[in-house]
Amino acid sequence: MSKKAASRVPIDTAAVNAASQQGKSNRLFAFIALFILAISSVGGWLWLNREQEPYTLTIGAGPFGSDAFNLLSEVRQVVLRHSDELRLNIKSTRDGSQNIALLNKGEIDAAVIRSDTPVVADVRGVAELYPDVFQIIVRDDAPAFTVTDLTNIQISVPEYGSDGFRSFWVIGDHYDLPIDQMRWKAEPFNIGAKKLLSGQIDALFTVRSLRDMPLIRLFEDAQLKSIKLRYLPIAQAEAIALKRPFLTTANIPKGAFTGATPVPGHDTPTSAVKRILVTRADVDPEAIRELTRIMFENRLDLTIRFALASAISAPDETRGLSVPLHEGAQAFYNRDQPSFVQENAEPLALGVTVLTLLLSGLFALRSRFVSSQKNKADIYNYQLLDIQKQAMLADEADELDLLKVDLSNILQTVVIALDTDEVTDESFQSFSLLWDAVRETINDRYRQIKT
């Protein structure tokens, strides 16, 4: 019986070593996982804070020298001074229709168009820039005082295919002007302006801002040459806007161009269309947000450089938009609105309270579980101490053999308890040290009895 009992001891020692090795492996795995997490966190932080080249937006701004081109050129200079993240490349184009085509092809990132320009589904709005005003300018001696009188005179209109050309026939359609009975010529504004001053034509139709430099020069030249010019009112502008909702009404104030002999001589009602800045839906939201921020936060700087910048505004969503807002522009416009956390402070606070209670309960349960594991480990240790005490008092080898069997059984029980998480790895380590000590006590006592 003595030999049989003794033969079990090496097997039990192997089990102890295996359990100990498993604990070391678990700790090594946890250390490696934490090391990888730390390296990943540092690497991610370095990547996010790396030196980045500024994002460049190419913007189709209309004809070179136009209001839109000049305004966006000034925006480019302000962006250069106030942003490290963004740069603008301003490209001259024919008109809004070409800008939409270039957007669709991906050749430009943003564009200036009229609010009545047909767009495709992935075009998004950024900001309203300024209004372009419908203007019918006539010589003072021309026999025309209303829009319907245009059938009696010669008039220059914008070139074929342009936005201005289509706008003229919007007015003509509303007033039922007979196209075949009118004397009109489609040509560039500068040619029409020269003909108007020279008396070759009686009137000029154009769609542009009231601060447009070629328009201002037209009135300056007329004043120098003592040529009287006046405006025809578009008295039914509100009715036109009902039919064409992307057009608005406007008013050309008395003396807008000259004050001593005011031109126009009185406030003149007319139609207008807004120039808006648009982009593609897939353009980087952060770049669009930065562009929107620069335009609005530095509007005074822009206005000093170019008076039309004072008209830059956020689209009025309550009146409906010709195109939906880009998410980057929307993020800037919503910057002062309460965040999700602010809007839902009370339910979130309740959720945090409930979560805290749940976590407290879980920690309490875990504490009780760990305490239970420790108590169970203490019981096994007390059993070992009792075996050690019996071994020291034993006088017969048979008694020691029985104690070895008890020692082996306790080890098997504790290994199973470790496997089922009834004792912790740390408790098992303490148990294994005490178990080795008790086994040595039995072996020493066995040698003493034999001698």
Which residue is associated with the tokens 């019981």?
379
Correct CATH for 341-451 of 2.60.40, 3.90.550, 1.20.1440, 3.40.50 = 1.20.1440
Angle in degrees, CA 218, 219, 224, rounded to 5: 100
Q: Where in the chain is the domain with CATH 1.20.1440?
A: 341-451
Mind listing the pLDDT tens digit for each residue in 391-442?
888 888 888 888 888 888 888 888 887 777 777 777 778 788 888 888 888 8
Whether residue 138 contacts residue 144, with contact meaning beta carbons closer than 8 Å, is answered with yes
Q: Where in the chain is the domain with CATH 3.40.190.10?
A: 110-337
Distances in Å between the Cα of 204 and the Cα atoms of 88, 151, 195, 197, 299 are 35, 13, 9, 10, 33
Whether residue 134 contacts residue 272, with contact meaning beta carbons closer than 8 Å, is answered with yes
Torsion, Cα 118 121 123 127, to 10 degrees, reads: 70
The DSSP bridge pattern shows strands 268-280 and 123-139 to be antiparallel
* Range with lowest mean pLDDT among 37-46, 64-73, 144-153: 37-46
Distances in Å between the Cα of 117 and the Cα atoms of 144, 236, 244, 326 are 31, 22, 12, 17
Bridge partners of 135, per DSSP, are 206
Distances in Å between the Cα of 320 and the Cα atoms of 95, 324, 440 are 24, 9, 90
First-to-last alpha carbon distance for the chain, in angstroms, is 19
User: How many other β-carbons are positioned within 10 Å of the β-carbon of residue 208?
Assistant: 20
pLDDT for 350 equals: 76
What percent of the chain lies above the pLDDT cut of 90? 54
Rounded to two decimals, what is the model's pTM? Answer: 0.65
SS3 406: helix
- Does residue 385 surpass a pLDDT of 50? yes
CA dist 265 and 282 (Å) reads 49
pLDDT confidence band for 349 (50 / 70 / 90): confident
Whether residue 229 contacts residue 221, with contact meaning beta carbons closer than 8 Å, is answered with no
Superfamily of domain 110-337 in the CATH hierarchy: Periplasmic binding protein-like II (3.40.190.10)
Bridge partners of 155, per DSSP, are 184, 203
Angle in degrees, CA 72, 78, 80, rounded to 5: 105
- Does residue 1 surpass a pLDDT of 50? no
* Range with lowest mean pLDDT among 8-17, 83-92, 233-242: 8-17
CA dist 86 and 291 (Å) reads 7
Q: Peptide bond preceding 264: is omega within 30 degrees of 0, i.e. cis?
A: yes
SS3 296: helix
CA dist 8 and 212 (Å) reads 104
Average pLDDT for 94-101 = 90
Distances in Å between the Cα of 287 and the Cα atoms of 96, 217, 339, 373 are 22, 37, 21, 58
pLDDT confidence band for 445 (50 / 70 / 90): confident
pLDDT for 402 equals: 85
CA dist 277 and 26 (Å) reads 60
Give the H/E segment covering residue 131.
strand 123-139
Whether residue 177 contacts residue 186, with contact meaning beta carbons closer than 8 Å, is answered with no
Mind listing the pLDDT tens digit for each residue in 162-187?
889 999 999 999 999 998 889 999 99
